Amino acid sequence: MPAVEVKNLVKKYGSIDAVKGISFSIDAGEIFGLIGPNGAGKTTALRVLSTLLSINGGSVTILGYDLSKQAGEIRKLISYLPEDAGAYKNLSGRAYLQFIANFFDPKEVAAMVQKGIEITDLGARIDDRVDTYSKGMMRRLLVGRALMTNPKLAILDEPTSGLDVINAQEIRKLIKTTAQKGTTVLLSSHNMLEVEYLCDRIALISDGKIVEEGKPKALMEKYKARNIEEVFIRTVHE
Amino acid sequence: MSGLGNITKKEIRELLTPATFVPIILVALIFATMGNSIQGIQEQSQTPPTIGVINEDNSTFGAIASTILHDHAKVIYNSTSSSDKQVALETLKEKNGVALIIIPQNFTERIRHEQPGNIEVYWIMKGAGLMDTLSSSMFESLIVYINTNISKELIQENTSIHNASFVLSPTKRSETTYFKNREFQGLSPSTISGMLSSQTMLIPIVMMMIIIMAGSIVITSMALEKENKTLETLLTLPVKRTSIVTGKIVAAAIIGLLLAIIYMIGMQFYFSGFQFSGGVNFAAYGLVITSMDFIWIGVSLFITLIAGLSLCMLMGTFAKNYKSAQTLTFPITMLAMIPMFITMFADFDTLPLALKIFTFAIPFSHPMMAPRALLFHDYTLVIGGIVYVAIFAMVTISIVVWVFKTDRLLIGTTKFKWMKKIIRRRF
């Protein structure tokens, strides 16, 4: 049974069709990338799968639960990292991680916080107020928050957004390791190198529709492209 | 286009939003409704007071008093025998009268013998607000006028009375007030109103302050969740929407109550300097707030705070950022201030029906009205108010939870598109 199964998903904002009947599935432990230009519907699709938005058509099953009927159960198993997420500015980094961990199993709170601190790698700054953090530090805190809860499905919208090359690489390795330990990952990214390095499979989305789907290598062969960027340009613009 | 014009156009486009105008339009409507109703009360108070006169003294000074009363007031009951007192009082109560004046048989004779002539005044008090006591205040000035005219007469007569103080003040008053089926001997309506105000004014002010402060906390909290981009994360965590809504309301209520305690301590000292009791023991008239009454007031305050905060929470879902949150606090502030002024200026019982419904509908009115109602054992108003506010709170919380379950919280409303189109066309 796939970890995520999306069938003919439709999402509208009033009269605007943001997602026009997309379908895909993700196997357990797989890293699946949703790639597309701005306004293609990537973030909308991720927000729907994160239980934030209701759907106007189709069906979504996550880890055996129906999204429309069992959103509460799904929230116990997933973790969502929005692209432009923030944290509570009056809290320290540690207090923020503690606040999030408190929503989960009380027996695992301490271990979760410890894991979060290790992922963020902020050293002594973990006890400083969040509003004193740089953009990169904030993103590391949020990635730590998203992965410390050992989610069955991690939904990451532009996970390395705002990070420098070194920090971005560390986060990519972390995502890879997390997937190897059994977490299914659904991510979106503009960074094609990142996609190529991280994803087992990708779906290219344009104007609310999936225009291509497959393993990065297979797609490059199919389009006789040197990299995913070329595949992306050909599928979206040709 | 010049730099100035360009900046002005851009600023107007940003400021011309429903969030800016809707609260102000609402407040304008509320003021218009209040103005119309209060105008009605004022017109009523400007008409001559309706009174009854029993004049048993047909001599000089009795005649002077009677003439003044007939000339400056609307006398609906007239008699020459004090045995008609009960009939007169019943008539006045039926016909919305303010007072019954009895000028006793020996009025002139006592003055001639250098003893103050007694004017017996039986007040019929309808409400304890400032507006309610306007007619009785007007009538009090008539009694002063009677005293002045008798003084003039004494001076013109060039009597043998040489006590100047007596000549300037030849009459005295004995007063009895009937209010809410009780008899207050020796007290005038303005004294009773003053005493009630000093005993019941603290709660309306404190209630208003809690709502403004705690309400602002809730609205700002929602706005900051959106502005700091923490709301999306919060909504994907394994926590019920009801818990998020209730948690925010309870936290604001605790902070609001803490602020209220600090505020009340200060206000208590402030009011203790102004409290007017007139040396009269309220308990002697059975007007005591018992410990059970305090529990009712506490329940009313708590339920109203929850209702108020859930209303603020609902407003908060409309807030896009800190700036818009400040605008949305304004209608809540007005809703808290309106009942405070209404309870200060008028009594719920004497309000015109429209204003009565309006006041009852505002949840914040109830703890403000509760202390006075409990003094007079009007449990129907207090318990009815608590039930209404509890229902109001439950309905509002359900709406907030529903909003939290919909997309509206994150993607905003698609309504007001027509207004946005007009703004785009014009600018």
The alpha-carbon gap from A54 to the nearest alpha carbon of chain B, in Å, equals 7
**Which of B146, B174, B194 delimits the end of a domain?**
B194
3-class DSSP state of B281: coil
pLDDT tens track for B228-261: 889 999 999 999 989 999 999 888 888 888 887 8
Is residue B103 located within the same domain as residue B252?
no
pLDDT bin (cut points 50, 70, 90) of residue B138 is: confident
Same domain for B289 and B159, yes or no, is: no
Flag if A53 and B238 touch (Cβ within 8 Å). no
pLDDT at B357: 92
Distance from CA of B287 to the nearest CA of A (A): 50
Long-range (24+ apart) CB contacts under 8 A made by A11-14 are: A11/A41, A11/A44, A11/A45, A11/A48, A11/A53, A11/A55, A11/A56, A12/A56, A13/B411, A13/B414, A14/B414
* Residues of chain B contacting residue A148, judged by C-beta atoms under 8 Å apart: none
Residue B272 is predicted with a pLDDT of: 64
| Distance from the B426 Cα atom to the nearest Cα atom in chain A, whole angstroms | 24
Same domain for B111 and B227?
no
Please give, rounded to a whole number of angstroms, the shortest distance from the CA of B266 to a CA of chain A.
29
Angle between helices B18-46 and B353-361 (to 10 degrees): 140
Residues B103, B207: one domain? no
Residue that has been written with the tokens 């006041």 in this structure: B359
Phi, psi of A12 (to 5 degrees): -120, 145
Cβ proximity of A112 and A104 under 8 Å: yes
pLDDT at B423: 44
What domains are there in chain A, each with its CATH number?
Answer: 1-77+153-161+186-238 (3.40.50.300)
In angstroms, the CA B226 to CA B223 distance is 5
Mark which of B194, B213, B231 sits at the end of a domain. B194
Q: Does residue B233 share a domain with residue B131?
A: no
Chain B hits for A82, CB-CB cut-off 8 Å, are: 229, 232-233
Which one of B224, B226, B229, B236 makes the best mutation probe of the A interface by having the most chain A beta carbons within 10 Å?
Answer: B236
- Chain A residues closer than 8 Å to B230 by CB: 85-88
d(CA A203, CA A41): 12
Residue B185 lies in a domain: yes
Q: Is residue B2 included in any domain, yes or no? A: no
* Cβ contacts of B137 within 8 Å, gap of 6 or more: B190
pLDDT band at residue B301 under the 50/70/90 scheme: confident
Cα gap B49→B71, rounded to integer Å: 11
What residues in chain B have their Cβ under 8 A from chain A's Cβ atoms? 228-230, 232-233, 235-240, 406-407, 410-411, 414
Confidence of residue B42 (pLDDT cuts 50, 70, 90): low
**pLDDT over 70, % of chain B:** 86
Q: How many domains does chain B have?
A: 2
Say how far residue A63 (Cα) sits from the centre of its chain: 16
Taking 90 as the threshold, does the pLDDT of residue B9 lie above it? no
Which chain B residues are closer than 8 Å to A75 by Cβ?
Answer: 236-239
- CATH number of the domain where residue B72 is located: 3.40.1710.10
Identify whether the C-beta of residue A186 lies closer than 8 Å to the C-beta of residue A156: yes
Contact B410 A52 (CB under 8 A): yes
- Find the range with the poorest average confidence among A129-133, B28-32, B328-332: B28-32
Nearest CB to A86 within list B230, B238, B406: B230
Q: Are residues B237 and B135 in the same domain?
A: no
Per-residue pLDDT of chain A (238 residues; tens, 9 = 90+): 789 999 999 999 888 889 999 999 999 999 999 998 888 899 999 999 999 999 999 999 999 999 999 999 999 999 999 988 999 988 999 999 999 999 999 999 999 999 999 998 899 999 999 999 998 899 999 999 999 999 999 999 999 887 888 888 888 998 999 999 889 999 998 888 888 889 999 999 988 999 999 999 999 999 888 888 888 888 876 6
| Contact flag B406-A54 (C-beta cutoff 8 Å) | yes
List the single range of A42-46, B194-198, B340-344 with lowest mean pLDDT.
B194-198
Q: Report CA-CA distances (Å) from B154 to B55, B57, B62, B110.
A: 20, 17, 13, 13
Rounded CA Rg of chain B: 29
- Tell me, yes or no, whether B16 and B78 share the same domain: no
Report angle CA A184, A159, A54 to the nearest 5 degrees. 65
d(CA A73, CA B219): 29
Write down the ipTM of this complex. 0.92
Same domain for B167 and B225? no
Would B3 be classed as within a structural domain? no
In a domain, B4, yes or no: no
Q: Are B385 and B369 in contact (CB under 8 A)?
A: yes
pLDDT in tens, B381-424: 999 999 999 999 999 999 999 998 888 888 765 444 554 555 45
Of B238, B239, B410, the CB nearest to A53: B410
Nearest by CB to residue B232, choosing from A52, A54, A79, is: A52
Burial of B286 (0-12, 13-18, 19+ CB in 10 A): exposed
Q: Are residues B303 and B277 in the same domain?
A: yes
Asked whether residue B409 is assigned to any structural domain, the reply reads yes
Q: What is the pLDDT of residues B262-298, one digit of tens each?
A: 877 777 676 666 555 555 666 777 777 788 888 888 8
Shared-domain flag, residues B211 and B331: yes
Q: Is the pLDDT of residue B24 over 60?
A: yes
Give dist(CA B299, CA B292) in Å, integer.
11
Note the pTM of the prediction, 2 decimals: 0.75
Q: Collapse the DSSP code of A53 into the 3-class scheme (helix H, G, I; strand E, B; otherwise coil) and give the result.
A: coil
- Tell me the average pLDDT of chain B: 82
Q: Where are the alpha helices (DSSP H) in B47-104?
A: 60-72, 85-94
Q: Which of B131, B159, B194 is the last residue of a domain?
A: B194
Residue B170 per-residue DSSP state: -
Q: Which domain holds residue B188?
A: 47-194
Tell me: do B311 and B373 sit in the same domain: yes
Question: To the nearest whole angstrom, how far is the Cα of A141 from the nearest Cα of chain B?
Answer: 13
B251 and B268 fall within a common domain:
yes
Counted across chains A and B, CB pairs separated by less than 8 A come out at 56
Task: Give Rg (Cα) of chain A.
Answer: 18
